[in-house]
Amino acid sequence: MASKEKSNEVVLALPLSRLIVKTVRVPEENRGDPSSYVAPILQAMSPYPDEPLTVSCEVMRESERGLVVVAAALPESAADDIAGALDARKLNVTRIDALALGTLRGIWGTLGQGDARRLVLIGGPDCISAIVIDGDMPSAIRAFSADSDIRREIMLSLLEAEDFGGAMDLSEIVCVGDVKADGLDAFAPTRKIEVGEDAALVGVAERSLEPSALNALPASWKEFLDETRFKAKLKGRLCVAGGIWAAIMLVLFGVPMAYGYMADHQKALCREHARQYRAVAEMRDKVKLVQKYSDHARGALEIMKAVSDRLPQGITLNSWSFRRDEGVKVSGEADEAEFVYKFKDNMVEAGSEDGGDSVFAEVLLNGPSAGRGGKQKFDLDCNYETEEDQ
């Protein structure tokens, strides 16, 4: 069956005679990795004991004691002819399922309910598939050729089911497809179900959409599939990159005059923008300069008046250093140290009497320290608020 998305990718449905299939109980401690537990069991059943198997498990039932799974594997040596046919048609297999399980899915609704044991015989071109179902799960799955003794094969299937699920009466035998039902009434009542030619493929197609369904794809086939998909993606991306490169070359070499015109136009716009930027920057510097010298609030006379108005009695200033952009520094001496501290507090509050911010952002006092004649010497450094602080 070809994939709808990729015509060279198919799901392969094989008769049970090509696969190794068995129903296995997996203990609770192996619930996380049932394939590792089942692998030695299927390996012992393989006609190629030295060839490692890629085992896939489909969970049929879960309980506190563990899992019941249908495990399947495809020995690569038993599928050399299939691999050759697939290579000849350049097909890549994404999944491998059993035809009998696809048919069983299609007739499941007609088998009836309950915990009874039923035997389903599915005829096919290569083999007859025998599936013993206990209630809602298979307990034994076998395949045998149409030339075999069918009564003997049924007995072996029932013994395998009894070994797996315990003793139970066989309620009926259901024959699907080309199966000779003569003499089977000795085991249980027999009925026949007719299905369409594509019933098995339809069931396999439905199962292929379920991630939990069996996939007996060997490891080497999966590696080849991944490699093929990678090459296809790489080829597609290279084609896209080649198309983009061709378009770029067409633009660069197909319209050189238009490209040159656009480049010259952009250069002219850049030069005009730079000229306008320089003009605005120069005007901004001039405005700042005018604002700086027209701001009399920080002029020397205003600052001198501010210092004089806040100079307490008992203090004599000896030096005055005014820096227009930074602040003012004064040195003096006082009769008492408390006059110095009061002078500092007055300078800290300068300009904030009317509710505004202080003129000086920082007022640093060095002193007072005792000098000659009992005078207290000090230095007071008053700094403006910087632009970063503003």
pLDDT tens, per residue, the chain with 390 residues: 544 445 688 888 898 888 999 999 999 999 999 999 999 999 999 888 888 899 999 999 898 889 999 999 998 888 888 888 888 888 888 888 998 999 998 888 888 777 889 999 998 878 899 999 998 889 999 999 888 888 999 999 999 999 998 999 999 999 998 888 778 888 999 999 888 878 888 888 998 898 889 888 888 888 877 777 767 677 777 788 888 878 787 777 777 777 777 888 888 888 888 889 888 888 888 887 776 666 556 667 777 777 887 888 888 888 888 887 778 888 888 888 888 888 888 888 775 655 556 677 788 888 788 877 778 888 888 887 654 544
The pLDDT score that the predictor gives to residue 352 is 60
The pLDDT score that the predictor gives to residue 38 is 93
pTM: 0.56
The pLDDT score that the predictor gives to residue 385 is 66
CA 372 – CA 165 distance, rounded (Å): 117
Distance in Å from the first CA to the final CA of the chain: 77
Specify whether the CB–CB gap between 334 and 317 falls below 8 A: no
Specify whether the CB–CB gap between 357 and 318 falls below 8 A: no
Q: To 10 degrees, what angle do helices 199-208 and 99-107 make? A: 100
In single-letter form, the type of residue at position 196 comes to G
Cβ of 53: how many Cβ atoms within 10 Å? 24
The pLDDT score that the predictor gives to residue 387 is 47
In the three-class reduction of DSSP (H, G, I as helix; E, B as strand; rest coil), residue 137 is classed as: strand
In single-letter form, the type of residue at position 4 comes to K
Among the residues of 256-359, which ranges form H helices? 256-294, 300-309, 337-348
Specify whether the CB–CB gap between 26 and 37 falls below 8 A: yes
